[in-house]
Each structure stands twice: as C-alpha cells, then as structure tokens.
Chain A
Amino acid sequence: MTELTPADRRFVEFDVDDTDREQAGLNGHTIEQLSDYLDRGRVPADPSIDDSPDCEIALRGLERLRRVQLSLLDRDLKRESLRDDNWVASILDNITLEAHAGRDIPLIHPSPTARLVVTEGAVRGILRETGDKLQNVLVGRCALFGDVGVPGVPITISVDVTVFPEENIPLVADRLRQAMYAVVAQHTNLVVTAIDITVTDLSIAPQASAQGQEHT
C-alpha cells in the first residue's frame, strides 16, 4: 500500500448491527478482531490489517479510545482517592475478628467448671506484632501446626517474613525466633518444639523504604 492515510480521515461509518457492512469497510475484518489484534500487541503481524488504510484508521480510533479510557479511569480514581476516609472506617467497623479466630487453645485453671482459652487468631496476632516490632522485619502468614486443643501435645509454628536487604538474615531470624518463643510462653501453655521461619520476599524492600521516606 502506498496510499497514505490522512490522520483526520473519518472512521468508516458503519451500522452497529450490520456485520457485513462492517467487514466491507474493514478489509474483511471486524472491530472485534481489530481490538483483539491490538490486545495482542499487533503480533503476529497480519498484513491484511496492517496494509489496510481503513483498518489503520479503525485501529487508531481504538487506540485513542483506550487512551481516553485510561485517562477517565485515572480521573475517577483521583476523585475517589480524594474522598474522606469515613468509608474506610465504616467498613472496618463492620467486620469482626471472629471470622479469623481459628481454634481454641486451652489455658490451665484448676476449677472443673472453668474453660479458659486463647484463640489461635489472638496468638497469630501477637506473633505478628512481635515480628513487626523488630526493625526491618515484616511478618506474613503465621501457622500453628499440631493439636493445639490438647495441653502438652507438642506443636510447631511456621512463619513467613520479609527481611529488608541490609539486614543479616540469620541474625534477624534468630532474634525473631527467641522473641516469638517468649511471647508464646507468656500467653499460652503450648509446648512448641520448633519455630520455622521462611524469608519469603526481599524484592519489595527497596521500593518500600523509598516510599516510606516519602511519607515521613
């Protein structure tokens, strides 16, 4: 094709209901096919599209539509982000810890009519807090393995953590493990035989610290 497509040439006037007219105006293609072609990044190249001035105009229109869509989304997101925070508060006010309470972990009391328990959720919570208090550590998932419902049965704890790059990982893991043993002993009668710490994700740290500085 040697013919240049004028930038201001109007997109073919088609009837939204008539596929034949649409294809006739787009070198045998449909808008849907062209849209999929754009989604694929125009690969593999299809000469029957690339060499058709009508298709080129339609593709340009689709690209413009996409740009406007993005700026509309951007505008809407900005507007939503500027709202006051009350809606966040009302969501948080309407959810309950009960959904993630987990199992009941018995606490010892001599009376036969006493049933004292700490929930698995509460223990996971204090394990998280313990890790978060250490510098440059963020605790992810915490899991208690074993029968926590029966006093004296040995259990293990598994913890995912993010440790920031400048930290000495074995040292941090050891400090975290000791702190977690102490806090479990403080709040439960569990017999913990091991705390397995998995360092899961270091890559987020540079970004996180950079953004953290922006906030301060």
Chain B
Amino acid sequence: MPGTVREQVASPLDTASDQMLADRAADGDLRAFAVLVRRYGPLMRVYATRVLGSNDETDDVVQESFITAWLQLGTLDDGSAVKSWLMRIVSRKSIDRLRARRPHVNIDDTDAPAPDSHAPHALAEAESQTEALARVLAALPEDQRRCWTLRELAEYSYGDIAAELNLPVSTVRGLLARARKTLLREMEEWR
C-alpha cells in the first residue's frame, strides 16, 4: 500500500553507529539510510522550520536534502561526521529556498526591522519560556535568525556561517551579537 511503512521491527541497525550507517548507505543500503533518516530527520525538520520561519516548505526541503544526501554519500569521507554533513545539506537547501522565495531581497540585508522589544507583559507571562523563545526567534530579522540557527542548531563556526551565507565574518559576528542581545533583552521581559 502506498504511503505506509513496513512494520517497525527492532534491528541491530537501529542502534548502529553513524559511521556504520553512513558506510552502508554509501554502499547502497536503503535500510541503513532509513535509520539515518529517522535519527536525524526530526532535527533537520526543526532546523529547516526555524530557518524558513514556517513549516510550509519543511517537508520539501528535508526530502530534497535526503535525496541529495543519498546521491552524494560516496563523497563523505568520514562516516562518523554524517550528522554535521546532513545539517550542512539542509542548511544549504533552506537558504536556497529563502533566496528563491524573495529574489529581490539581498541575503545580507541587515536593515530588517527589529522586533518590538516590549511585548505585552500579560502575553509573556501566559506562555512558557520555551514558547516565548520560539515566538521571539520567529520575530527576529531573517538574517539574524539564519545566523543564530546555523550557530545554535547546526553548530557551525563563525567562519562556516560566513562561508555558507557569503558574508564577511565580521558581519556574522555582528548579526549573532544582535540576535543574542535581542533574545537576552526579551527574556528579561518574561520573568
């Protein structure tokens, strides 16, 4: 039946190392690849949703990322690095989506309006801190959110973020600093 998944049977592959799974998948093993999809798909979905600002396109971006990964697995030298390699692919796909969505907006446009720094206290108190953080993140200017997400979810270095977004490292530092300061200031409002 289309769209259904075979019954989940516990297999030694489910707990195999990333290296083992990546090696097998590079040799063409679909079962190993499926374990990688289940293991890192959720993080990639969270990540793509965060970068894109909504989950409308998350399915597409994550699917495209895994198809690319499958085709290019042979180029991955160190199978134990498969997680960061996958995060890199989904980053690139997400950023491509953003560019395609708003071709007239320059990716290094840093003049996006800052979110309202004084959200209504009543609202802030009504939600948990995690929900509040999710809300503030969503309200960050796109370029700041992108840098923050690459740094905090994909664990990119400043240099990697700069290379990925085609920005000077100094700009990346500035964007990250602004994102952090905004988040810190907003958090003070939640207490």
| In-complex A–B contact (CB below 8 Å) | yes
Instruction: Please report A residues at the B interface, Cβ cutoff 8 Å.
Output: 8, 10-11, 13-14, 16-17, 22, 30-32, 35, 58, 61-62, 64-65, 68-69, 71-73, 75-77, 80-81, 85-95, 97, 99-102, 121, 124-125, 128, 132, 138-142, 160, 162, 201, 204, 207-208, 211-212, 215-216
Shortest distance from the beta carbon of A200 to any chain B beta carbon, whole Å: 8
Q: Are B17 and A32 in contact (CB under 8 A)?
A: no
Which 10 pairs across A and B sit closest by C-beta, in order of nearness? A100-B28, A215-B10, A80-B42, A208-B15, A141-B23, A76-B46, A121-B28, A32-B177, A72-B130, A85-B5
Provided the pairs A62-B180, A138-B16 are in contact, do residues A88 and B70 lie with their beta carbons within 8 angstroms? no
Residue B89, interface by CB 8 Å? no
Task: Please give 11 more A-B residue pairs, beta carbons under 8 A apart, in addition to A95-B30, A100-B26.
Answer: A13-B185, A65-B187, A68-B187, A80-B46, A86-B4, A93-B2, A99-B70, A138-B12, A141-B23, A208-B15, A215-B14
Contact A86–B5 (Cβ < 8 Å): yes
Segment touching A, from B61-69, B90-98, B100-108, B159-167 = B61-69
Task: Name the prevailing secondary structure of the B interface residues.
Answer: helix
Q: Give the interface residue-count category, chain B.
A: 35 or more
Contacts known (A68-B187, A139-B24); A201 close to B37, Cβ less than 8 A:
no
Is B42 within 8 A of A81, CB to CB? yes
Does B124 touch A at the CB level, under 8 Å?
no
Q: Please provide the chain B residues from 142 to 191 with a CB less than 8 Å away from any CB of chain A in the complex.
A: 152-153, 173, 176-178, 180-185, 187-188, 191
Closest chain-A Cβ to B132's Cβ sits at a distance in Å of 8
Chain B residues, Cβ within 8 Å of A81: 42
Known: A87-B62, A94-B67, A201-B17. A141 touches B24 (CB 8 A): yes
Identify which of B3, B20, B30, B42 contacts A162 (C-beta below 8 A): B20
Contact between chains at A14 and B37 (CB < 8 Å): no
Q: In the bound complex, what is the Cα–Cα distance between A14 and B173 (angstroms)?
A: 18
Whether B126 sits at the interface, judged by CB under 8 Å, is no
